[in-house]
Copies of this chain bind each other. A is one copy, B any other.
Amino acid sequence: MYAGVDTGGRGLFWDVLAGRAAPPPAAVTLGWELVAIDPERGTIEVAFSAGESFLNPAGVIQGGFLAAMLDDTMGPALVATLPPGRFAPTLDLHVQFVRPARPGRLLGKGRVVHRGTEVCHLAGELLDVQGRTVAVATATAVIRAAPGM
């Protein structure tokens, strides 16, 4: 759990978590917070705060913002496993929307399905506060040198 996370690790993810680097603006916009992480297993749980500014004309969260949350669930599951100076841009993202999501708290569960030397396969799920699946996703990411590092 977050309370027990060792923030002594190095690398982009851990530097943000320990307050040594500013949180990425996209994560702030999505209300990202860490719930639990296990870098050895490649799993993560995060929470989001879905705001009114994400609503579509039907009055539910626009699917793209759910995609953004899933990207920010799966990406960190991988980035947490990277050494300093490495980053992992997403190449490909596939999202299936299962049910409408209302503003409020959403839980993201992500995992590294396969961590190659460069190419990595990721999977994730977004749940509402009742534990119902809102959307599921897969992604492909590639490990690269982080810009400016």
A59 within 8 A of B: yes
Known A64-B72, A71-B63: A58·B87 in contact at CB below 8 Å: yes
Our pick among B12, B26, B97 for the contact of A89 (Cβ within 8 Å) is: B97
The 8 A CB mask of A16-37 against B (1 = contact, 0 = none) is 1000010011101100000000
Pick from A2-10, A49-57, A110-118 the stretch touching chain B: A49-57
Q: Smallest Cβ distance from A70 to chain B, in angstroms?
A: 7
- Stoichiometry, as copies per complex, reads 2
CB interface residues, A 87-126, toward B, < 8 Å: 87, 89-97, 100
The 3 closest A-B pairs by CB, nearest first: A64-B68, A64-B71, A26-B62
State the interface size on chain A (CB cutoff 8 A): 43
**Are A25 and B65 interface neighbours, CB within 8 A?**
no
Residues from chain B with Cβ under 8 Å of A94 in the complex = 92-95
**Are A95 and B97 interface neighbours, CB within 8 A?**
no
Our pick among B89, B146, B147 for the contact of A63 (Cβ within 8 Å) is: B89
Residues from chain B with Cβ under 8 Å of A16 in the complex = 57
A47 within 8 A of B: no
A127 within 8 A of B: no
**Are A29 and B54 interface neighbours, CB within 8 A?**
yes
Our pick among B54, B67, B72, B97 for the contact of A25 (Cβ within 8 Å) is: B54
Residues from chain B with Cβ under 8 Å of A64 in the complex = 26, 64-65, 67-72, 93
Residues from chain B with Cβ under 8 Å of A59 in the complex = 147-148
